[in-house]
Amino acid sequence: MTATIPTDPVPRVMLVWDAPNMDMSLGSLLGARPTAAFRPRFDAVGRWLLDLAGPEAIAEATVFTNVVPGSTEVVRPWVEALRNVGFAVFAKPKISEDSDVDEDMLAHIRLRAQEGTLRHVVVASGDGRAFREPLEDLEKLGTGVTVIGFREHASFALTSEVIEFIDLEDIDGVFREPLPRITLDSLPEGGAWLPPFRSLRSLLEARR
């Protein structure tokens, strides 16, 4: 009888992407719905995750999103493109204000952590209320923790003593063009124009 040689479990590096929060943060940053030039390239995010995982670990990436009833034809091409890149998608109907995906993301992280092979978790979100405490608890247990997002909307990660933060724009190739990120905190010496968030004519439309 041949003895079975036990093998070490394969470590896992996982990314969970909070699509509703990231979309809202990007829209707030731009002051408008993002055009194609300012939408993140998930293939670049995937390559970055693979580099983080290295050749010895499983790299897993999941986008969590809500689907508003009646919007499936608009959302379907995006979901299929994500799946073609290698991302899993967790889609949940948006039928009430409470139909968000925060708890689903946390449940998935807990599941992987309980399996005992989770080496590093990456969360793409600026939602400190949902993620700060669970992520800091994971780090204390020895799991690496990184938050990726926008520095303007991720203060919980920037101020944490244990969470690593990486600005999404600093990941190579994620955006085709630099984001227009002039703010009152980063004004150039010669000043900067800050465009309106909406047309002045919208003031007249509000009266109708």
Question: Please, are residues 12 and 118 in contact by the beta-carbon 8 Å criterion?
Answer: yes
Does 88 map to a domain? yes
Domain tally, the chain: 1
Tell me, yes or no, whether 6 lies in a domain.
no
With cut-offs at 50, 70 and 90, classify the pLDDT of residue 179: confident
Structure tokens at 61: 């990436």
Give residue 33's pLDDT: 81
| pTM of the predicted model over 0.75 | yes
Number of CB atoms found within 10 A of residue 190's CB? 5
Share of the chain above pLDDT 70, in %: 91
Q: Give the tokens for residue 127.
A: 């939602």
| CB of 150 closer than 8 Å to CB of 168 | yes
CA 52 to chain centre: 16
Residue 137, in any domain of the structure: yes
Domain assignment present for 135: yes
Which CATH number does the domain housing residue 146 bear? 3.40.50.1010
> What range defines the domain where residue 78 resides?
13-178
Least confident range of 77-81, 147-151, 200-204? 200-204
Is the C-alpha dihedral spanning 100, 126, 159, 185 positive or negative? negative
